[in-house]
Amino acid sequence: MLDQIFDYLHFHFSIEAPLVLLILIFLEAVLSADNAIALAAIAQGLNDKELERKALNFGLVVAYVLRITLILTATWVQQFWQFNVLGGAYLLWLVFQHFTSEEGEDNQHHGPRFNSLLQAIPVIAFTDLAFSLDSVTTAIAVSQERWLVLTGATIGIITLRYMAGLFIKWLDEYVYLADAGYITVALVGLRLLLKVVNDSFVPPEWAMIGAIALIFAWGFSKRTTPELSEEPEKSEASK
């Protein structure tokens, strides 16, 4: 029984396995930055820090199950271009929702709002699944060993949760970060659609990573201005 499971997972440990695993983890971390900020922005739609935390936790548990299912069925999924169309269209729809949402008092878009935790969880889970259509393909290209890809995905989902938690804080600190994040989401969505049209149109990974780095540099370029509520008190004390 174990032999059959190991054969299905292509579990054949080799000297190269740790190096391949490190590469997969690195790719997961790099390719998850835009995913993390999208999930953080979605969670912020709850307007409650405790609910945001729960939405990320429960949403990523469901996302993990979906991601593992995608890895185990990747060979079958890759035969159907319709999955890439649905994933790309879904991500572009999220981008459209964000940039057409009403602006807040800070003149910035804040994306969709949710009335309950149950509304946010499926959106988080399916957003990660749409991103995984691209990242899983990259991971399988690096290694055909399913157990390595599964291990990388497990570590990747933990990293994603940590990164999303950081981005929730940073979204409150940097003016352009949410817009920058959704621009990178649009790039991933367009990449999925280009795969359907013609693989030769798809930009290489290094170009995507470079573009994402530049967009995030812009996203972190301006901090929000804190309110100087203590200024009057100081001026009175000095008199």
pLDDT value at position 23?
64
Over 80: is that where the pLDDT of 17 sits?
A: no
Is the full-model pTM beyond 0.85? no
Which range, of 49-53, 81-85, 135-139, 148-152, averages the lowest pLDDT? 135-139
Q: What is the DSSP string of the chain?
A: -HHHHHHHTT----TTHHHHHHHHHHHHHHHTHHHHHHHHHHHGGG--HHHHHHHHHHHHHHHHHHHHHHHHTHHHHTT-HHHHHHHHHHHHHHHHHHHTSPB-TTS-B-----SSHHHHHHHHHHHHHHHHHHHHHHHHHH---HHHHHHHHHHHHHHHHHHHHHHHHHHHHBTTHHHHHHHHHHHHHHHHHHHHH-GGGSPPHHHHHHHHHHHHHHHTS-BPPPP-TTHHHHHHHH-
CA 6, CA 55: separation in Å to the nearest integer?
Answer: 34
**Residue 141's pLDDT is what?**
55
Across all residues in the chain, what is the average pLDDT?
77
Instruction: Band the pLDDT of 107: cuts 50, 70, 90.
Output: low
Residue 42 has pLDDT above 80, yes or no: yes
- Look at residue 171 in the predicted model and tell me its pLDDT: 87
pLDDT at 142: 55
Give residue-wise pLDDT tens across range 58-103.
999 998 898 888 878 877 877 888 888 999 999 999 899 888 877 6
